[in-house]
Amino acid sequence: MTLKSFDQYTDFEIIKKISEGDIKLYEILIRRYNASLYKIGRAYRYNHHDTEDLMQETYINAFYNLSKFEYRAAFKTWLTRIMLNACHHKNKKMSFKNEVATENSPTEKQTPMFQQSIDTEKKIVNKELGQVLEAALNEIPEEYRVVFTLRELNGLSVAETTEVLNITESNVKVRLNRAKKMLRSNIEKIYTPEDVYEFNLIYCDRITEKVMKAIANPKND
C-alpha cells in the first residue's frame, strides 16, 4: 500500500500502526499538521527558519514519545502542546529575531473570521496583501495572538485551547474577542487562513524529509 492510501485513516489509526512498527506512516501526520505548527511558531514571532527548527524539534519529540500518547485527547491537541512547550523553552533560552509588524476587528458565536468562501479575484488580492495581515497579527500582544492563532487559524475548539494553554474557557473567550477587536474589520472580509503565515508545499516537503531522516537515523540527529 502507498502512503496515499492511508490518507483517509484517522490519526489514532495511523499512530497505532506506527507503534506496531510502520514508521513511514509518520510522514502522513507530519504533512497533516505542518501548516498548523507553522502558524503557532509565527504567532510567537519566530522567523521562518526558527519556526522550521521548532517544528522539526516538535515532530521528533512527539515521535519518540508516541508511547505516552493516551488517545484521550486529539493528536492535534497533544502535538500543539508539544509545539507550545518548544516555543516557550526556546523563548527562555535565547532571543530570536522578530519579524516586523501593524493592526484589525469581530465575536465568539460567529464563524471563524477567516473561514469564508472567497472568489479568484480576491485570492489574488490576498497574495499581494498577505504581509499586511501578518503584520497586523504581529502587533497583537502575545497572549491574544496565540489564542487567536489556535482558535481562528488552526481551528481548535475553546475546550482544546483551554487544555493546551492551561487557562480557563472564560479567558480563552475574552482573549479571542480582544484579539479580534485589535484587528481591522476590513481585513476579515478578504483573507483566508492559507494567506496568513503561509507554509507552502516546498517547505512542507523539506520539513517532512528532515524529520523522517532524523527518525530513520537517530544517531545523526
Based on the fold, state whether residues 190 and 125 are members of the same structural domain.
yes
pLDDT in tens, 150-171: 998 899 999 999 999 999 999 9
Mean pLDDT for 124-145 is 70
Based on the fold, state whether residues 208 and 189 are members of the same structural domain.
no
Based on the fold, state whether residues 20 and 79 are members of the same structural domain.
yes
pLDDT attached to residue 127: 52
CATH of the domain at 157: 1.10.10.10
Based on the fold, state whether residues 84 and 39 are members of the same structural domain.
yes
Choose among 25, 27, 40: nearest CA to 84. Answer: 40
Based on the fold, state whether residues 14 and 80 are members of the same structural domain.
yes
Tell me whether residue 2 is in a domain. Answer: no
pLDDT attached to residue 120: 45
Residue 83 amino acid letter? M
Choose among 152, 147, 154: nearest CA to 175. Answer: 147
Tell me whether residue 49 is in a domain. Answer: yes
3-state secondary structure of 100: coil
Mean pLDDT for 164-193 is 79
Tell me whether residue 41 is in a domain. Answer: yes
Based on the fold, state whether residues 33 and 76 are members of the same structural domain.
yes
pLDDT in tens, 3-43: 777 778 999 999 999 999 999 999 999 999 999 999 999 99
User: If pLDDT is split at 50, 70 and 90, which confidence band does 104 have?
Assistant: very low
The 8-class DSSP code of residue 155 comes to: -
Q: Distance between CA atoms of 163 and 197, rounded to whole angstroms?
A: 24
Residue-number span of the structural domain to which 182 is assigned: 120-195
The total number of structural domains in the chain stands at: 2
Based on the fold, state whether residues 19 and 90 are members of the same structural domain.
yes
Based on the fold, state whether residues 93 and 130 are members of the same structural domain.
no
CATH of the domain at 83: 1.10.1740.10
**Residue 117 predicted with pLDDT over 60:** no
Tell me whether residue 112 is in a domain. Answer: no
**Please, what is the average pLDDT of the chain?**
80
Higher pLDDT, 115 or 99: 115
Tell me whether residue 108 is in a domain. Answer: no
Tell me whether residue 106 is in a domain. Answer: no
Using CA atoms, how far residue 181 sits from 32, 188, 208, in Å, is 31, 11, 36
Based on the fold, state whether residues 94 and 22 are members of the same structural domain.
yes
Based on the fold, state whether residues 143 and 82 are members of the same structural domain.
no
Based on the fold, state whether residues 17 and 76 are members of the same structural domain.
yes
**Residue 145 predicted with pLDDT over 50:** yes
**Residue 213 predicted with pLDDT over 80:** yes
Q: Distance between CA atoms of 220 and 213, rounded to whole angstroms?
A: 9
Contact 172, 147 (CB under 8 A): yes
What number of other Cβ atoms are within 10 A of residue 147's Cβ?
27
Based on the fold, state whether residues 210 and 187 are members of the same structural domain.
no
Contact 194, 153 (CB under 8 A): no
Mean pLDDT for 174-193 is 71
